[in-house]
Structure 1
Amino acid sequence: MTDQQVYSPLTLRASGLSCGRSGLVLNENLDFSLTSGECLLLRGPNGTGKTTLLLTMAGIVAPLAGRFAPERPGDEMPLLHYCGHRNAIKPRLSVLENLGFWAELNGPTGLEPEAALAEVGLARLAGLDAGYLSAGQARRLALARLLVSLRPLWLLDEPTAALDAAGHGLVARLLDAHLAKGGLAIAATHDPISLPDRAPRVLQLEGIW
């Protein structure tokens, strides 16, 4: 582990993984592996199972067949963050209160909430009720959750949704910093994501029709 790395070595393997919902198979026999410092982008048209695959890897939806498992020397910290396409924000709580809630729920092991808000460009809105945020600002607040609690694996569903060009750059910087610490990321996205220091891998999903 280098001075820059925060996370212990981690490998993720999917073997013969099939996923779907309500008995409908969306993808089957997926095989891939990912190691520390790597990012995998899930591509494919709407309805090809990108979100379902993320939910399966997060343990929220049971696989229909096969397995997806981490390989790491110890379980010293929780494994993952799942950041879905919904931002999970309480509109009557302030921006800072929302982030403080998530820090307490997931463990305040990363940045202080105020610092995380500054990192995503929301510092001046800390006291504002979150219900007044624009769609892009709400997405930035959701991304700030990744920063207040350390987890080696990020599972991201359309992380750049509703974001402007500056927001796309923010996502790329956050991902690049996370990977530099020895983290991993898997993101379902229609948007191109160019990382400053590394090229993401791509898994093209065609779905089963």
Structure 2
Amino acid sequence: MTLTVKNLTISRGGIPVLEGLNFTLAPGKALILRGPNGVGKTTLLRTVAGLQPPVEGDVICGPETIAYAAHSDGLKGTLSVSENLHFWADIFGTKGIQNALDGFDLNSLVDRPAGALSAGQKRRLGLARLLVTGRPVWILDEPTVSLDVASVAMFADAVRAHLSEGGSALIATHIDLGLDAEVLDVGPFRAKPRSGTGGFDGLDESFL
């Protein structure tokens, strides 16, 4: 499934942050987003994932194709590693978690409560959820936070396997994952101030 972004303008707190974005993410491909902190990478990913509407433009992707991994690991601390993965497998209507356990070296932790894991182990479990979604398009926001060198390599291998099976990945990261991927620097797409509005046109009520 191809993901297409056309003439996209996005906002944070009602203020446009990036504009004029155009890109296509084809099956088997990865696209790395780069740019300084605060430029709008997370907002872009959230918009592409359908969690907030764009100001202008379109995100074209088939229904139920996207799996989104944000800064939060999305875990239930009182559930074990296996129970967390089974929970997400049930949510996405898939079967089996062994591939996820193997892919992120979680077999020795399978019965441990997620709340008792280290930060790196929690991150691995959070990323392992991707393997039980069955979704072809992965959208990942700084996925390697808290991971050691070996775990970063493990994650990169999981992405390569996903791409080899026809999946795709849109990843915001500052590190080199060693992937064969295109890079999009979003810095040049910073939104210009909107004339006469001070940039606050359409400000969400919660920010007033």
Please state which band the TM-score falls in when normalised by the shorter chain.
Answer: 0.7 to 0.9
1:200 maps to 2:169: no
1:142-181 → structure 2 map (5 Å cutoff): 142-181=126-165
Q: Aligned-residue CA RMSD in angstroms?
A: 1.4
Whether contact under 8 Å (1:58, 1:80) holds in the other structure is yes
Q: TM-score, normalised by structure 2?
A: 0.87
What is residue 4 of structure 1 aligned with on the other side? none
Deviation of 1:180 after TM superposition, in Å, equals: 0.7
Aligned residues, how many?
A: 190
1:40 maps to 2:31: yes
Provide, for residues 14-70 of structure 1, a one-character-per-residue CA deviation record: whole Å limited to 9, x for no partner.
111011122111100101112111100111111011111000001101001011102
1:35 corresponds to which letter in structure 2?
A
Which residue, 60, 63, 67 being the options, matches 1:69? 60
What is residue 6 of structure 1 aligned with on the other side? none
Whether contact under 8 Å (2:33, 2:184) holds in the other structure is yes
Distance 1:115 1:13, change over 3 A: closer
1:191 maps to 2:182: no
Whether contact under 8 Å (1:90, 1:98) holds in the other structure is yes
Whether contact under 8 Å (2:71, 2:141) holds in the other structure is yes
What is residue 22 of structure 1 aligned with on the other side? 13
Whether contact under 8 Å (2:5, 2:59) holds in the other structure is yes
Whether contact under 8 Å (1:44, 1:205) holds in the other structure is yes
1:100 corresponds to which letter in structure 2?
H
1:92 maps to 2:68: no
Deviation of 1:113 after TM superposition, in Å, equals: 1.7
Q: What is the DSSP-based 3-state SS (H/G/I as helix, E as strand, rest coil) of the residue aligned with 1:147?
A: helix
What is the distance in 1 between the residues matched to 2:173 and 2:121? 19
Deviation of 1:122 after TM superposition, in Å, equals: 1.0
Whether contact under 8 Å (1:48, 1:208) holds in the other structure is no
Whether contact under 8 Å (2:29, 2:167) holds in the other structure is yes
Whether contact under 8 Å (2:103, 2:158) holds in the other structure is no
1:81 maps to 2:99: no
What is the distance in 2 between the residues matched to 1:143 and 1:22? 28
Deviation of 1:208 after TM superposition, in Å, equals: 4.1
Whether contact under 8 Å (2:6, 2:23) holds in the other structure is yes
What is the distance in 1 between the residues matched to 2:57 and 2:46? 15
What is the distance in 1 between the residues matched to 2:9 and 2:74? 28
Provide, for residues 158-202 of structure 1, a one-character-per-residue CA deviation record: whole Å limited to 9, x for no partner.
11111011111111111111111111100111111112xxx2111
